[in-house]
Amino acid sequence: MLISSFTTAIKSLAAPARVLGFLLLVLTLSRIVLIGWFWDRVAPTGGTGFILLQGIRFDLVLMGMLLGPALLAAPWLSGRKFGVSALRFYLLAVTLYVMWVELGTIPYIDQYDARPNYIYVEYLKYPREIFSMLMASYGLLMVLIAVITVASGLFAWRLSRSAKQTTPGHRFFGALFLMPILVVMIFAMIRSTTDHHPVNPSTVAFTTDSMVNQLALNSPYTLIYAIYEQNRDSRTGNANYGKMNDADVLRIVTEKAGLTDVVEQRIVNHQVVVLLGVITRMHLVTPVEVADVCVGFAGEDAQQAGLASAVEAEHEQSLALAEVEADVFEDRWPAVALAQPCRRDDGVAALRRRRESDVHRLR
């Protein structure tokens, strides 16, 4: 009686086990395709075997995470009308998720040189824009991915039919006896190590090329891990950074990049452009005279210095003088003033009041 019950409980695992085998095969084939696609970067590392072996390891991690609940539920749900439907729809959802994310890896790597990460999640806020962009850049590929994903879902649905064929009765004690075995197996699949910490993306870091390292992972796993990491950091505060003013940020970045002289010259050029623009709009000098000053300041390379067309009359735009003066004379980043134009009528009125004030002071 107990043996029969245990045998029936094991048979109830057929549906999730078949889907698990199918997804493992798909993930392995996808990894082989990616290795071939990026062979020029994989070959110098000599890590093809490592990528394939570690890939199977992380595919099992993913299967433990996604299909573990189905394996635990199958002995109790198989053979029961509502339970079978719930189990099959769950297996269908897992298949669609794995197929869609994994098959979309190549265009994602093409854009970000990495497997799907949290940027993938953030872009879901703009589905219309993202869909139009993907169709414009990868139209045929996206259609092919969608077709294969749907076909895989239908195939997984057929694979899960065995859940209906399991006898519902006489398996309580078998299922109860099977639970500890399944829990240990799923725990081992997810943890995949006896070390203090479970495996994570750093486990497969064997080269300085981050993208090649990630080929040993799979995209559904990297996406789940990115969401987990983001939520963990937001709770613990590890993602919060200290405050630093813009000037210090600019100084540190330019020093480390060896661009200090270039950036400083660029700032000076912008400040001169703003100052000359103010002088021109106050009608203290003509645009032609200002252009001569620009050539004298920047030499014949005025175009490269960003000064050549700074004060052309046809591009004249009124600025809020108070902000311009603050940015120029208090040595702040002048782009703020340039990005804050006021309405033309207000600008003209401000200039008129400024000129009247200057004339009054001269008298």
Q: Assess whether 226 and 259 both reside in one domain.
A: no
* Helix axes 246-257 and 260-281, enclosed angle (nearest 10): 130
Q: What's the rounded Cα separation, in Å, for the pair 186 and 67?
A: 9
Indicate the burial class of 52 (C-beta count within 10 angstroms; 0-12, 13-18, 19 or more): middle
- Same domain? 254 vs 218: no
C-alpha distance from residue 277 to each of 129, 152, 225, 322 (Å): 38, 63, 52, 13
**Is 199 exposed, middle or buried (CB count within 10 Å of its CB: 0-12, 13-18, 19+)?**
middle
In a domain, 187, yes or no: yes
Count up the domains in the chain and report the number.
2
217, 236, 255 - which closes a domain? 236
Quick one: 293 and 328 in the same domain?
Answer: yes
The Cα-based distances of 65 to 19, 121, 188, 220, 251 in angstroms read 14, 19, 11, 11, 46
290 DSSP 8-state letter: H
- C-alpha Rg value of the chain to the nearest Å: 32
Pair 139, 227 in one domain: yes
| 103 and 37 within one domain | yes
CA dist 143 and 146 (Å) reads: 5
**Is 63 within 8 Å of 221 (Cβ atoms)?**
no
Residue 341: strand pairing partners: 319
Hey, which residues does 319 pair with through a beta bridge?
341
Which H, E and C letters describe 48-70, residue by residue?
HHHHHHHHHHHHHHHHHHHHHHH
> In terms of domains, do 253 and 231 share one?
no
Q: Which residue, 10, 186, 172, 15, is CA-closest to 86?
A: 15
Task: Give the C-alpha distances (Å, rounded to integers) separating 168 from 7, 10, 76, 80.
Answer: 12, 12, 8, 6
Looking at 236, 266, 287, which one is the last position of a domain? Answer: 236
Query: Comparing C-alpha atoms, which of 215, 197, 195, 219 is closest to residue 205?
Result: 215
C-beta atoms surrounding 36 within 10 Å: 9
pLDDT score of 218: 96
Phi, psi torsion values for 195, nearest 5 degrees:
-70, 175
Q: Are 15 and 74 in contact (CB under 8 A)?
A: yes
The verdict on residue 266 lying in a domain is: yes
What is the extent of the structural domain holding 66?
2-236
* CA quadruple 225, 226, 227, 231: dihedral sign: positive
In terms of domains, do 190 and 257 share one?
no
252 shares a domain with 228: no
* Domain shared by 231 and 251, yes or no: no
Instruction: From 321, 314, 355, select the one nearest 338 (Cα to Cα).
Output: 321
Any domain includes 144 = yes
Which H or E run contains 41?
helix 39-42
Q: Which of 171, 202, 236 is the last residue of a domain?
A: 236
Looking at the fold, whether 111 and 187 belong to one and the same domain comes out as yes
How high is the pLDDT of residue 78?
81
Q: Which amino acid is at 2?
A: L
Whether residue 241 is contained in a domain is answered as no
* pLDDT string in tens for the chain (363-residue length): 677 777 888 888 999 999 999 999 999 999 999 999 999 999 999 999 999 999 999 999 999 999 999 999 998 888 788 889 999 999 999 999 999 999 999 989 988 999 999 999 988 888 888 888 888 888 899 999 999 999 999 999 999 988 776 666 667 788 888 999 999 999 999 999 998 889 999 999 999 999 999 999 999 999 999 999 888 877 765 555 567 777 777 777 777 776 666 555 566 555 555 555 655 555 555 555 555 555 554 444 444 444 444 444 334 444 444 444 444 444 433 333 333 343 344 444 544 555 455 545 445
Assigned domain for 283 exists: yes
- Whether 112 maps to a domain, the answer reads yes
pLDDT score at 200: 93
In a domain, 348, yes or no: yes
* Same-domain check for residues 111 and 190: yes
324 lies in some domain:
yes
User: Residues 21, 63: one domain?
Assistant: yes
Angle of helix 172-191 relative to helix 2-11, nearest 10 degrees, comes to 50
